[in-house]
């Protein structure tokens, strides 16, 4: 049970990072008034989130 929860959390964190990268690059401009749109720093933050989420997923697979 804990394994599945951690794996799901890892995937959700990675998905959130992907959304952050999309907003920072301007590829995913939603919502239109977001401060993250076309702000390149969010590409880096999103990449870090993706790595953290995939890391959590990998650790959870070993439990």
49-62: per-residue pLDDT in tens? 999 999 999 999 99
Angle between helices 41-62 and 2-25 (to 10 degrees): 160
Indicate if the pLDDT at residue 3 is higher than 90: yes
Distance CA 16, CA 1 (A): 23
What is the count of structural domains for the chain?
Answer: 1
The tens digit of pLDDT for each residue in 19-28 reads 999 999 999 8
Q: What is the pTM of this model?
A: 0.87
Task: Check: CB of residue 27 under 8 Å from CB of residue 42.
Answer: no
């Amino acid at each position: 049970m804990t394994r599945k929860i951690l794996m799901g959390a890892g995937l959700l964190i990675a998905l959130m990072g992907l959304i952050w990268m999309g907003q920072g690059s301007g590829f995913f401009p939603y919502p239109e008034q977001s401060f993250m749109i076309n702000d390149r720093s969010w590409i880096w933050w999103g990449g870090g989130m993706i790595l953290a989420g995939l890391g959590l997923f990998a650790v959870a697979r070993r439990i």
